[in-house]
Amino acid sequence: MRRADDNRPVVGSNSKELGVRVPPNPNADIDLDESGKVILNGKGMSVAENWRDLPPHLIPMRLRSRLPGAAGSDRLACFVHGSGPFHEGPINDRLALVLKAHNTRAGNVVPSRLDEVQSFQDDLAATRSEWSIEES
Amino acid sequence: MSNQFFQNADFVEYTKLLYELHSAMRESGDESTEAEKIRDRMDEPGSRLSPDEIAVVQGISADFYSVADPLPTAILPRTAEVNVDLVAVRRARDTRDFHLALDVLRRRAAHLEPSAVSFLRGRIWMAAGQPAIAALFLERAAELQPANPSYRSIALEVLSAADPQRARQHAGEILRNSEDQPARLVLIACQILYFEARESSDESTRSTLESVVTAIRGAMDRMMISGEDQTLPGLFLHAFALLGQCFELLGDHAGARKWYDEGLRLSPDDPLLLTLRGMQRYGEDSPGAVADFERAIRRGSDSVWPYYFLAHHHLLSRNFQECLDTSTKGLQREATDSVRADLQEWIAISSASLGDPRPVVEAWFQQALRLAPDHRRIRANYELYIQSQASEPDWDTPTSTEVGRSGRQGFKVNVQNAA
């Protein structure tokens, strides 16, 4: 994710920010129902178990000495949230982790219950101080 | 990038964008707007990659960096184990396990000259059917070893598929200074410019072709002086073929025939020259043309063209069993959809004339129309057959002139195959 000056992720609704891209963005991370609520279909903010599991365009180039194919912008940083195992389940009382079907080393952070999109964005933003840079 | 990966459209798309990203990073900077736009486009296909595919694209990305990275200060010894692995690289490439080939090569790269690594990577990507990526590595190999004619000629050949405009530019530069260039490279440059002239209706075509003829003759003279006509006989004969084709395009058919005959005097059984001479004779001296095509086939021609012309000859001669057999063999060769559709139509006509069941005949027509849905003649013949109760309605068959035109437009001399 993009790194802010305080070494925490940038909050927002663009690619590589702490938040989700919302329809009508063609690359939206979530689907909305007719009333504007987030559909609980496993879609959400994309995350991975380890930065080494990311495709190369998401890994900052400064990490080339550790992963020679890293080709992401150096404005990005690899953040970690918490210290528990990368398992499907609740992250807190409002967010949960759902693993991707084709890649169990990657998943989506999703809302735990049917909610407005802004509430979901706020819940993600509320975790900002819990993310720290981990690039070892 | 094994076959399994290459069947995944997301993997193919991601790899293509990765190539574009590295190009943008080299040309506009790592953090440029261009690079960032490409990274944004990579999010979607990247999000659907499996862990194995991610590992593969990470390796490919590292390979892309090698094109611009500083060269290593020392190369590790080339041990027996390294040689064994290099054999494994070639084997993996030939069995289309491209991921394995790239992976083993990457692990042994520090033991090889960077130019050789780049060249081998280029050959793997060529085999994988990715000319733009292949050209990147082959051009790098040629840049690192400018004195190696093989690197330069293969790079130019692949570039002609990846970026025809840039290849034509390079070919033009080579011709301007052709006397100082290796014959193989000059002939490939000539081949590129010949194809350009053949597809163009531009006024400057004639002068381009005349320059090409001069360059080919110069390259042939140098080959004779250096002895390359003996050490690279296939390449030398291709020069005759290319020269003859240039004369044909210039409208000098006698001149073309002279070069085909001269080449065949040196190598009477050369399938390429036999095919070209046969094509030139077809319609005017059909017995002579047929003899050339038959000989080209007996001598192992891997081209579809002698089969194509011979099948057409049998069709016009109403030798339907021979037409059917020759067309069937032609279909086993590499050919464009248009040529394949013609052969399938001729099988349909032969099959009908031989009294085969109507569903068999119709299936051949339908196959032909799947390849060439807008082909007026094939559709007309199909409809004629459907509407007629006769096994031999009044078919519309292409003339020798029409078939000759298809041959001239479709035939490609490939110098690299002989080099």
Chain B residues close to A73, C-beta within 8 Å = 30-31, 35-36, 39
Dist. CA B162–CA B165, nearest whole Å: 9
Q: Residue B37: name the closest of B51, B19, B17 by CA.
A: B17
Residues B68 and B194 in one domain: no
Nearest by CB to residue B54, choosing from A55, A64, A68, is A55
B151-191 residue pLDDT tens: 999 999 999 999 999 999 999 999 998 888 899 999 999 99
Quick check: A70 contacting B, CB < 8 Å? Answer: yes
Mean pLDDT of B53-60: 94
Q: At A89, is the secondary structure helix, strand, or coil?
A: strand
How far apart, in Å, are the Cα atoms of B272 and each of B239, B413, B415, B418?
A: 11, 8, 11, 11
* Alpha helices (H) along B29-79: 33-47, 51-65
pLDDT band (50, 70, 90) for residue B1: very low
Q: Is B250 exposed, middle or buried (0-12, 13-18, 19+ CB in 10 A)?
A: middle
Dist. CA A33–CA B19, nearest whole Å: 38
Hey, which residues 105-124 in chain A have their CB within 8 Å of chain B? 105-106
Q: Is B230 exposed, middle or buried (0-12, 13-18, 19+ CB in 10 A)?
A: exposed
* Average pLDDT over all residues of chain A: 93
What is the DSSP secondary structure assignment for residue A65, as one 8-state letter?
Answer: T
Give a yes or no: residue B66 inside a domain: yes
Residues B133 and B180 in one domain: no
Residues of chain A with pLDDT under 50: none
Which of B212, B244, B266 is where one domain is finished? B266
Residues B139 and B176 in one domain: no
Nearest by CB to residue A57, choosing from B31, B39, B50, is B39
Residues B139 and B166 in one domain: no
b/e code B323-336 from CB counts within 10 Å (16+ = b): bbbbbbbbbebebe
Residues B259 and B172 in one domain: yes
Residues B113 and B167 in one domain: no
Residues B169 and B141 in one domain: no
B73-84 residue pLDDT tens: 999 999 999 999
Residues B181 and B133 in one domain: no
CATH of residue B163's domain is 1.25.40
Chain-centroid distance, C-alpha A14:
11
Q: Do A61 and B30 touch (CB under 8 A)?
A: yes
Residues B129 and B169 in one domain: no
- Predicted confidence at residue A36, as pLDDT, reads 87
- Predicted confidence at residue B407, as pLDDT, reads 85
**How many folded domains does chain B comprise?**
3
What is the DSSP secondary structure assignment for residue A116, as one 8-state letter?
Answer: B
Which of B266, B288, B311 is where one domain is finished? B266
Chain-centroid distance, C-alpha B130:
13
Quick check: A28 contacting B, CB < 8 Å? Answer: no
Q: Do B49 and A72 touch (CB under 8 A)?
A: no
Dist. CA B317–CA B305, nearest whole Å: 18
The answer to whether the complex's ipTM is over 0.85 is yes
B interface mutation test: which of A17, A30, A57, A74 has the most B CBs within 10 A?
A57
Give a yes or no: residue B365 inside a domain: yes
Quick check: B57 contacting A, CB < 8 Å? Answer: yes
Dist. CA B245–CA B94, nearest whole Å: 33
Give a yes or no: residue B334 inside a domain: yes
Give a yes or no: residue B194 inside a domain: yes
Q: Is-contact B93 B121, C-beta < 8 A?
A: no
Give a yes or no: residue B376 inside a domain: yes
Give a yes or no: residue B152 inside a domain: no
Residues B249 and B314 in one domain: no
In the predicted structure, residue B331 carries a pLDDT above the cut 80: yes
In the predicted structure, residue B90 carries a pLDDT above the cut 70: yes
A81-118 residue pLDDT tens: 988 889 999 999 999 999 988 888 899 999 998 889 99
Give a yes or no: residue B7 inside a domain: yes
Q: Do B61 and A70 touch (CB under 8 A)?
A: yes
Residues B113 and B211 in one domain: no
Share of chain B above pLDDT 70, in %: 97
In the predicted structure, residue B55 carries a pLDDT above the cut 90: yes
From B150's Cα to the closest Cα of chain A, the distance in A is 29
Residues B130 and B164 in one domain: no
Cβ contacts of B68 within 8 Å, gap of 6 or more? B26
Quick check: B40 contacting A, CB < 8 Å? Answer: yes
Q: By residue range, what is the domain housing residue B52? A: 1-145
Dist. CA A3–CA A10, nearest whole Å: 6
Mean pLDDT of B246-260: 94
Chain B residues close to A16, C-beta within 8 Å = 43
Torsion angle, alpha carbons of B253, B255, B260, B263, to 10:
180
In the predicted structure, residue B113 carries a pLDDT above the cut 50: yes
Which of B266, B292, B321 is where one domain is finished? B266
Give a yes or no: residue B68 inside a domain: yes
Mean pLDDT of B21-31: 94
